[in-house]
């Protein structure tokens, strides 16, 4: 059974980290509602959603993906690139410990989970402002015994690799090649996002349906014209915090029972 770990929107989300976007007013109530609808959408797709407790002192904690990489055999807990986010890690690690053996990246490594795109046994890892070469080396050493290949992909112009690229199935990537180096991705078919929607590359594909933010209708039509099944979902308030659809959950195959203290 697929399980998604999420974390609710913090009342301090207005103080979130921003790198490439100007700060805008975030409607807290609207962002909470959009996040709950996101969780509801995951449930509609048959996922069990485990929602970790909201922390009012962790404005970025809703972007739970950055705290860990969950593979079939192991969960790798990261050292996030923004120092203010380090306190998010323990809660995610404690939840994942009920499902996987845990490995931790260690300083000087810094890595955000948003920089890791898994396609089968390949992990494409963005070298970005949040993820460094030390982390890529540690990750490669950690996952090599399980048969995973790690590919380094340079990221420029956006926060994470998955801001500029996502896997939509059928050996196909949706990407903004202005923001990522696609030289190590040449064995995949590439669909370029429309020029008018440069932030549209972050999508979430579950059970052969690709979720696309409602704010990117051209991208949705582009995918549908190439016979990809899509669904639009509104996360406009959360997008002001420089997020995408993948950032809001950690999705993995669940083989154990629900962690104590978690809400599903």
Q: pLDDT tens digits for 210-248?
A: 999 999 999 999 999 999 999 999 999 999 999 999 999
Whole-number Å distance between alpha carbons of 68 and 252 = 11
Share of the chain above pLDDT 70, in %: 96
Kindly provide the b/e burial profile for residues 178-200, where b requires at least 16 CB atoms within 10 angstroms of the residue's own CB. ebbbbeebeebeebebeeebbbb
Closest CA to 173 of 156, 153, 193, 154: 193
- In this model, does residue 260 exceed pLDDT 60? no
**CB 167, CB 201: distance < 8 Å:** no
Whole-number Å distance between alpha carbons of 220 and 209 = 11
pTM: 0.95
**CB 188, CB 173: distance < 8 Å:** yes
Report which DSSP code applies to 209: E
CA distances to 48, 204, 264 from 100, rounded to whole Å, are 17, 23, 18
Query: How high is the mean pLDDT of the chain?
Result: 96
Q: What is the mean pLDDT of residues 64-71?
A: 98
Q: What architecture (CATH level 2) is domain 2-253?
A: 5-stranded Propeller (3.75)
pLDDT tens track for 74-91: 999 999 999 999 999 999
- Active-site positions read 160, 247
Domain spans in the chain, listed from the N-terminal domain onward:
2-253
The tokens for 68 are 């860990």
């Amino acid at each position: 059974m697929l399980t998604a770990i999420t974390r609710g929107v913090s009342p301090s989300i207005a103080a979130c980290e921003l790198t490439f976007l100007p700060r805008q007013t975030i409607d807290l109530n609207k962002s909470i509602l959009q996040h709950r609808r996101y969780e509801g959408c995951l449930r509609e797709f048959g996922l069990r959603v485990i929602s970790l407790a909201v922390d009012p002192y962790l404005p970025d904690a809703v972007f739970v993906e950055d705290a860990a990489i969950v593979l079939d055999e192991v969960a790798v807990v990261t050292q996030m690139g923004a120092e203010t986010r380090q306190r998010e890690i323990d809660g995610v690690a404690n939840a994942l410990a009920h499902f996987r053996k845990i490995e931790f990246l260690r300083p000087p490594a810094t890595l955000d989970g948003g920089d890791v795109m898994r396609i089968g046994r390949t992990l494409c890892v963005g070298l970005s402002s949040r993820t460094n070469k030390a982390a890529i080396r540690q990750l490669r050493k950690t996952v090599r015994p399980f048969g995973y290949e790690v590919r380094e992909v340079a990221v420029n112009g956006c926060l994470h690799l998955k801001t500029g690229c996502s896997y939509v199935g059928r050996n196909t990537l949706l990407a903004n090649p202005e923001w990522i180096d696609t030289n190590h991705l040449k064995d995949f078919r590439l669909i370029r996002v429309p020029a008018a929607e440069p932030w549209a590359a972050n999508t979430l594909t579950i059970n052969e349906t690709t979720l696309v933010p409602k704010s990117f209708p051209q991208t949705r039509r582009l995918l549908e014209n190439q016979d990809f099944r899509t669904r639009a979902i509104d996360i406009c308030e959360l997008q002001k915090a420089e997020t995408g659809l993948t950032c809001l959950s950690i999705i993995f195959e669940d083989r154990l029972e629900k962690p104590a203290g978690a809400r599903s």
